[in-house]
Copies of this chain bind each other. A is one copy, B any other.
């Protein structure tokens, strides 16, 4: 999409231009906006009205003068929270990948799935695929299970639909998942062996915010043959330490 002339919708373009005008001027009336866009004021009014319905624009002070609205802050907030997390965590995910030699991933929950925010490959990592921006199933991954582990039963019921099977080892019954989540809460980390893919093992630990809520998960994943029992204990400890460090950076533990 390097071509700025391609495939744009004129009325949408105009509406977005209104946002830019309001950022510049602070406030503007319909007639002023119409002049900026070189359209009739009834057109400007309809476009502003639509923006207002979505809270991207609101009426400032007196009736009829418009300014940018709180809906923008909300949308931007979703973005900055994730950018901040990746930035704060990056040196630690780098170190963890270097220490383990495996692939390190950070995920957050996005409704019914886990979303990959960041990925750092270790020296032994065989897969070169970049998962950033992609969704993974919550119930079949270590990261996903961490993200589910402290939800209330109501929240869990809301988030989890049918438990799709990916391998013979995938958890597909809700009672089994609940037991697994209980185990994760007790031991403080999640393990997934061959549950998403045969031959893939992953360990994940929770990243917490200043309030102690789980907001993300960090995992170390590699081929099952390399993450065998004797090595796994070390990797679990390293993963837990990394999660704890990131959590501290996000303010966890400072208010207790």
Check: A198 CB closer than 8 A to any chain B CB: no
Instruction: Give per-residue flags for A64-87: 1 if the beta carbon is below 8 A from chain B beta carbons, else 0.
Output: 010111001111111110100000
Bound-state CA distance A74–B50 (Å) is 21
| Contacts A19-B75, A75-B76, A108-B26; A7 near B68 (Cβ below 8 A) | no
Residues of B within 8 A of A133 (CB): 26-27, 60-62, 65, 67
This protein's copies in its complex: 2
Check: A254 CB closer than 8 A to any chain B CB: no
| Contacts A132-B60, A134-B61; A12 near B50 (Cβ below 8 A) | yes
Bound-state CA distance A86–B207 (Å) is 34
Bound-state CA distance A67–B79 (Å) is 9
Closest to A8 in B: B50
Residues of B within 8 A of A6 (CB): 49
Query: Could you list which residues of chain A lie within 8 angstroms of chain B, going by C-beta atoms?
Result: 1, 4, 6-9, 11-13, 15-17, 19-20, 23-27, 45-47, 49-54, 56, 59-62, 65, 67-69, 72-80, 82, 108, 110-111, 113, 115-117, 130-135
Given contacts A25-B135, A27-B115, 14 further A-B contacts (CB under 8 A): A1-B52, A12-B51, A13-B50, A16-B56, A17-B54, A24-B111, A26-B133, A26-B135, A60-B132, A61-B116, A61-B133, A61-B134, A62-B132, A75-B76
